[in-house]
């Protein structure tokens, strides 16, 4: 009888030990799941912060195309001269004012407004793309971008947000084998230009005294004709 009782107690002890081990294992698994969930949340936050910061250029001003771009008229006119005339914009070609690289901002003086060539900052604008109003690249940097074959689309300070959104949509349109926003910068003018809207390339200028639906086609044709036509082609 004694050995039967001892066997019962032994089996009970083994069962209790197994149950305790299973409980500890479940607890460890639960803690691990909570820890992994916390890590995943932290990683998600870090990624979100990185993406937000990556949207900025060297002064945090750069943003990408709007998630839901403002609708603009479809293209009707592809000929630059015809489109410029229809939009009542002025199209001009100017002699080069030089391509000196200098950090001396007093030498960033230009005969055209907005500028189309001349002395400029050693580095170009940090990125192609769209810049928030009030955070345009310095004039020396966006002139350097023209030297690299970029197109600068500029609008006068105080332009309504609705118009800015539409110009951003325009600048985001595909060019060169369907590449969206290819080699174009869109920003608020910082040279006190008279035009409401302008597009510039190296030694080329399209200035529009008022914003109207024809301006979209004029700028589209300007991009087509002058993108990658600067003296230095930089991918």
* Same domain assignment for residues 161 and 113: yes
Query: What CA–CA distance (Å, rounded) separates 36 from 64?
Result: 32
Query: What CA–CA distance (Å, rounded) separates 87 from 46?
Result: 47
What is the pLDDT at residue 61?
47
* Same domain assignment for residues 80 and 118: yes
* Same domain assignment for residues 9 and 86: no
In a domain, 193, yes or no: yes
Burial 165-202 (b: 16+ CB within 10 A, else e): bbbbbbbbbebeeeeebbbbbbbbbbbebebbbbbbbb
Scan for tokens 């489109």, then name that residue. 83
* Same domain assignment for residues 202 and 106: yes
Query: What CA–CA distance (Å, rounded) separates 175 from 126?
Result: 20
What is the pLDDT at residue 177?
76
* Same domain assignment for residues 122 and 167: yes
In a domain, 36, yes or no: yes
* Same domain assignment for residues 160 and 207: yes
The whole domain housing 210 covers 64-226
Helix axes 214-226, 161-172, angle to 10 degrees: 30
User: Among residues 196, 228, 220, 199, which one has the least CA distance to residue 209?
Assistant: 196
Taking only the tens of pLDDT, the chain with its 235 residues reads 455 666 656 665 666 665 555 555 555 554 444 444 554 444 444 344 333 334 444 444 455 544 447 999 999 999 999 999 999 999 999 999 999 999 999 999 999 999 999 999 999 998 999 999 999 999 999 999 999 999 999 999 999 999 999 999 999 999 987 899 999 999 999 999 999 999 999 999 999 999 999 999 999 999 999 999 999 988 8
* Same domain assignment for residues 37 and 16: yes
* Same domain assignment for residues 43 and 113: no
Find out whether 61 and 132 touch, Cβ atoms under 8 Å: yes
* Same domain assignment for residues 128 and 146: yes
In a domain, 69, yes or no: yes
In a domain, 235, yes or no: no
Q: Which tokens belong to 44?
A: 């998600």
Find out whether 232 and 147 touch, Cβ atoms under 8 Å: yes
* Same domain assignment for residues 177 and 88: yes
For the chain, the domain total comes to 2
* Same domain assignment for residues 165 and 131: yes
In a domain, 97, yes or no: yes
Run of H or E residues at 140: helix 139-147
Query: What CA–CA distance (Å, rounded) separates 38 from 216?
Result: 49
Run of H or E residues at 200: strand 197-201
In a domain, 30, yes or no: yes
**Rounded to two decimals, what is the model's pTM?**
0.73
* Same domain assignment for residues 84 and 197: yes
């Amino acid at each position: 009888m004694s050995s039967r009782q001892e066997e019962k107690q032994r089996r009970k002890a083994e069962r209790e030990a197994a149950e305790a081990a299973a409980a500890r294992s479940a607890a460890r698994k639960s803690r691990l799941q909570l820890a992994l969930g916390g890590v995943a949340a932290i990683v998600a936050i870090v990624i979100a912060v990185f993406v937000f910061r990556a949207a900025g250029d060297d002064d945090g001003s750069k943003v990408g195309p709007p998630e839901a771009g403002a609708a603009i008229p479809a293209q009707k006119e592809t000929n630059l001269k015809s489109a410029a005339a229809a939009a009542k914009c002025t199209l001009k070609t100017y002699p080069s004012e030089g391509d000196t690289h200098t950090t001396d901002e007093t030498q960033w003086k230009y005969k055209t407004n907005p500028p189309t060539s001349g002395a400029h900052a050693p580095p170009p604008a940090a990125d192609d793309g769209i810049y928030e109003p009030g955070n345009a690249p310095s004039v020396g940097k966006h002139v350097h971008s023209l030297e690299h074959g970029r197109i600068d689309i500029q609008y006068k300070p105080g332009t309504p947000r609705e118009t800015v959104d539409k110009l951003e949509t325009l600048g985001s349109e595909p060019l060169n084998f369907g590449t969206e926003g290819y080699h174009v910068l869109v920003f608020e003018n910082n040279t006190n230009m008279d035009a409401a809207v302008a597009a510039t390339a190296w030694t080329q200028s399209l200035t529009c005294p008022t914003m109207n639906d024809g301006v979209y086609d004029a700028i589209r044709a300007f991009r087509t004709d002058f993108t990658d036509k600067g003296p230095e082609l930089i991918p």
